[in-house]
C-alpha cells in the first residue's frame, strides 16, 4: 500500500476512533455521571478495540500469522498512549483548569499522532 493511501485511511479511521472515544467518554461522564478519569479509561478501552480492528484490516492490511504478538504490541502501544491521555487529562483539568471537553479534544490530537507512529513502525511494520 502506498503511504498516501495509508495516511488517508489512518486519518479517516483515526477520526472515527476519536469520535468513539469522545462519544463514549461523554456517555459515561455526562449521562452516567462517572468520574472523568474512570470515564476516560472506559472510553480508551472501547476506542482501542475499534482502532485495532480497523487498523489491522483496512489501514495496515496486516497478514501476520502471529496475531497474539501483534495485538499485544498494539495494546501495549495504546496502553502507553492511554496513560499519556489520562495523565494529560489530569494535568489539563485539575492543574491547568481547562474544561474537560476542550481538554479531551486537544489531547486526542496528540494521542492520534503517538498511535500512528507506534503502529506504523512497531506493530504493523
- Domain boundary assignment for the chain: 3-123
- Output the pLDDT for position 82: 86
Instruction: Single out the residue of 58, 55, 54, 118 nearest to residue 82, CA to CA.
Output: 118
Q: What is the mean pLDDT of residues 63-71?
A: 92
How much is the average pLDDT of 66-76?
Answer: 93
5-58 tens-digit pLDDT:
999 999 999 899 989 999 999 999 999 999 999 998 999 889 999 999 999 999
The pTM (predicted TM-score) of the whole model is 0.75
Backbone angles phi, psi at 19, to 5 degrees: -65, -40
In percent, the amount of the chain with pLDDT more than 90 equals 80
Amino acid at each position: 500500500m502506498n503511504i498516501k493511501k495509508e495516511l488517508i485511511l489512518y486519518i479517516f479511521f483515526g477520526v472515527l476512533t476519536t469520535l468513539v472515544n469522545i462519544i463514549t467518554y461523554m456517555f459515561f461522564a455526562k449521562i452516567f455521571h462517572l468520574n472523568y478519569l474512570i470515564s476516560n479509561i472506559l472510553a480508551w478501552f472501547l476506542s482501542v478495540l475499534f482502532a485495532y480492528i480497523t487498523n489491522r484490516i483496512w489501514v495496515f492490511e496486516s497478514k501476520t500469522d502471529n496475531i497474539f504478538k501483534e495485538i499485544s504490541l498494539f495494546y501495549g502501544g495504546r496502553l502507553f498512549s492511554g496513560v499519556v491521555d489520562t495523565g494529560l487529562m489530569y494535568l489539563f483539568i485539575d492543574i491547568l483548569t481547562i474544561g474537560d471537553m476542550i481538554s479531551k479534544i486537544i489531547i486526542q490530537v496528540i494521542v492520534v499522532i503517538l498511535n500512528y507512529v507506534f503502529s506504523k513502525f512497531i506493530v504493523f511494520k
